[in-house]
Amino acid sequence: MAKTNSKIDRRQFLKAGVSAVVSLAVVGSAAYYFKDKSSLIEQGYLRPPGSRAEKDFLFSCIKCGLCVQICPVRAIKLADWDDGLSYGTPFIDPNVQACDFSCDAIQCAETCPTAAIDFQIFKEAGNKAVAPLFEKYPDGRFPKDINPFEVQITAMKRADKIGEAEIPNPEQCLAYNGHGYKGTLGHGNKGKLRPPGQTERVRIEETQVNREICDLCVIYCPLGEEAIELNKIEEGKFLPKVKDGCVGCGVCQMVCPTNPVSIIVKPVDKEPRFS
């Protein structure tokens, strides 16, 4: 009897040993995989407005998804399991849906429970912008041509630079080739945006445009010509010029009709604010 138990014990021991080796191999492979994926920190994601510097962001984001739920245009997605250290964290893909600021309140930052997306910088920028108005009109009776809310939200939109647009291959830009564009916005994506000067959002796949020279990235930019303008290069050739006012919202990339897109938004490196 004892002999039989001994054999069983040995079998169990061997099975346990094999299981342990396999488990260690799996864990080791996963560790190596995610170690390799950690380079994504350097590659960067386009994070929501107000996000901390990348390494601080990864430590402070609790992956709750509140920013995803509250975004009115569903611009924010969560990174998938194969995205390494960024798994479960929010990011924006302008090819699918840009941050068009049509929320008018930067709710993603306001709702973040850990300040991984920090609303404070927007609050400070908005308050600073309207302070002179309240000093000039302490009773709150503003002239009809002055809307303190618009002044405040415009300042908030400018408060944080999450990325910067660039034109990596000018030769594929329609304007550079002197071409206009007639058709729907975008390049087959199904995003939404609120065009400048309008109150309602539109679906870009349903929005028809007809431009003698393609300038969609300019006319649909939420910050207008302080962020991007169309410059004449030579006779019959034009090229968008990205200016210091660009905050990297991604609308230009979303509405670009060429495939692949002629203008892309790359994340910018941020200085840590809290560490």
Confidence of residue 6 (pLDDT cuts 50, 70, 90): very low
> With 80 as the cut, is the pLDDT of residue 143 above it?
yes
Cβ partners under 8 Å of residue 2, min gap 6: none
pLDDT at 16 (0 to 100): 45
> With 90 as the cut, is the pLDDT of residue 21 above it?
no
How far is residue 229's CA from residue 213's CA, in Å, rounded to a whole number? 13
Average confidence (pLDDT) over 259-273: 90
How far is residue 181's CA from residue 60's CA, in Å, rounded to a whole number? 44
Query: Angle CA(250)–CA(252)–CA(96) in degrees, nearest 5?
Result: 55
CA atoms within 13 A on the CB side of 44: 16
Burial class (CB in 10 A: 0-12, 13-18, 19+), 177: middle
pLDDT at 273 (0 to 100): 65
How far is residue 102's CA from residue 162's CA, in Å, rounded to a whole number? 17
Cβ partners under 8 Å of residue 258, min gap 6: 172, 173, 174, 187
> With 90 as the cut, is the pLDDT of residue 34 above it?
no
Average confidence (pLDDT) over 108-135: 95
Confidence of residue 158 (pLDDT cuts 50, 70, 90): very high
First to last CA, the chain: 65
Of 271, 245, 223, residue with least CA distance to 118: 271
pTM, two decimal places? 0.81
Strand, helix or coil for residue 111: helix
How far is residue 29's CA from residue 275's CA, in Å, rounded to a whole number? 32
> With 60 as the cut, is the pLDDT of residue 271 above it?
yes
Confidence of residue 65 (pLDDT cuts 50, 70, 90): very high
